[in-house]
Amino acid sequence: ITPSHAGAMAGYQRTKNLEAVLRLVDQGLEYEEDLEIEAALSSFEQALALDPVWQPALDGLVRVKATSIKIEFDTRMTEGFESIAAGDYFAARAAFRVAQQLIPSSTEPADGLLQVDQGLHLKDINTLEREAQALEMDEHWDAVVQTYEELLKVDATLSFAREGLQRAREMSALHARLDKLIEEPDRLSVPSVMQDATTLLVGITIRPDVGPRLTEQRDELSRLLKRAATPLTVPLVSDNVTDVTIYRIGRLGNFMRKEVNLRPGTYVAVGSRPGFRDVRREFRVAPEIEMQPVVVQCEEQI
């Protein structure tokens, strides 16, 4: 195996890890069968840490996550119907709302909410107000929006409901922005995105009403901004006759081996050589992955 051949080295690493991956997948399947969800998740995640493309581990992780959501969904639905039986319509509505967010495609929560409405007969403003306050405390802002909208259907003149609806919509949009930034951490290396994220972070920091969920998102975004601002050393290998350029970085010229410092993100290296077909290599830079040498060599004659 040529040490500089990234594909061969990756295949060798997968083969070396195969026994451990198989053991972890088997372990995960046993945990899954026993409905030990957290243990199963851990086993499949450990297997994927060793081999990120091992399909049985990927399938197992998706399956167990779906099972976890279904268990939580069933628990919330049970809580909702038990609350209806006990006459606690406030708790029932909150349970069905959470179930609705867990599996939006299911019609069961809507059926449960209909039973709540039928049980209440007339929507009680005080009950809905307490519900909105409880959901605000838990930072379930999408559900808060729905609750205030229901209040305004009962009485469009309620000033506290109008103010609450505006506040809830703003918070829902804020959480959505944070989620998008956190889910796509490599984009934070783009200067404009980093600037927007930093401004957003400063705004959250000076807020007087930062709850646990917002605090967690704020801290995670802060960590990811530090990650995005920290360059990593990337080894490049060529043949001293190929002219190498990295898009958004610049021309590197001819070399046998070179190291460049790049911030986390996805890059494209292009090689050109007179009389040879250009080559294009896309690669990702991230502290969570072990960087293999990026080989850029024009080898196919025209």
The count of C-alpha atoms lying within 13 angstroms of the C-alpha of 43, restricted to the half-sphere facing its C-beta, is 22
pLDDT of residue 121 exceeding 70: no
269 belongs to a structural domain: yes
pLDDT of residue 301 exceeding 70: yes
- Mean residue pLDDT of the chain comes to 88
Domain-ending residue, one of 86, 121, 156 = 121
What pLDDT is recorded for position 114? 92
Task: Give me Rg for the CA atoms of the chain.
Answer: 26
pTM value is 0.51
209 belongs to a structural domain: no
Q: Is 255 exposed, middle or buried (0-12, 13-18, 19+ CB in 10 A)?
A: middle
CA–CA gap between residue 55 and residue 62 (Å, rounded): 11
Which pLDDT band holds residue 8 (cuts at 50, 70, 90)? low
Q: Which domain, by its residues, includes 28?
A: 1-121
Domain-ending residue, one of 94, 121, 148 = 121
Residue 288 tokens, joined: 């969570």
192 belongs to a structural domain: no
111 belongs to a structural domain: yes
What pLDDT is recorded for position 153? 87
Q: What is the domain count for the chain?
A: 2
CA–CA gap between residue 139 and residue 210 (Å, rounded): 10
29 belongs to a structural domain: yes
35 belongs to a structural domain: yes
∠ at Cα 101 (97, 102), nearest 5°? 115
Lowest mean pLDDT among 27-36, 111-120, 162-171, 200-209: 27-36
- Of 52, 1, 3, nearest to 292 by C-alpha is 3
Domain-ending residue, one of 64, 94, 121 = 121
∠ at Cα 200 (102, 180), nearest 5°? 35
115 belongs to a structural domain: yes
Contact of 243 with 271, CB cutoff 8 Å: yes
Q: Count other Cβ atoms within 10 Å, centred on residue 105.
A: 5
102 belongs to a structural domain: yes
Which pLDDT band holds residue 40 (cuts at 50, 70, 90)? confident
What pLDDT is recorded for position 222? 93
pLDDT of residue 130 exceeding 60: yes
Contact of 253 with 278, CB cutoff 8 Å: no
